[in-house]
Amino acid sequence: MICSIESCSKPIHVKSRRFCNAHYQRWRVHGDPRSGAPLRGGVKRYFQDVVLSYEGNECLIWPFARNAKGYGIMRGGIVSRIVCERANGPPPTPEHQAAHSCGKGHEACCTKRHLSWKTQTENNADKLIHGTSRRGRTFSQKEAS
**Tens digits of residue pLDDT in 64-88:** 889 989 999 998 899 999 999 999 9
Examine the domain organization and report whether 16 and 72 are in the same domain: no
Number of domains within the chain: 2
Query: Which residues in 105-140 are b (16+ Cβ under 10 Å) and which e?
Result: bbbbbbbbebbbbbeeeebeebbeeeeeeeeeeeee
- Is 3 within the bounds of a domain? no
Examine the domain organization and report whether 66 and 14 are in the same domain: no
Which portions of the chain are predicted below pLDDT 70? 15-17, 30, 36-40, 135-145
- Is 135 within the bounds of a domain? no
| Residue 23: domain span | 10-39
- Is 122 within the bounds of a domain? yes
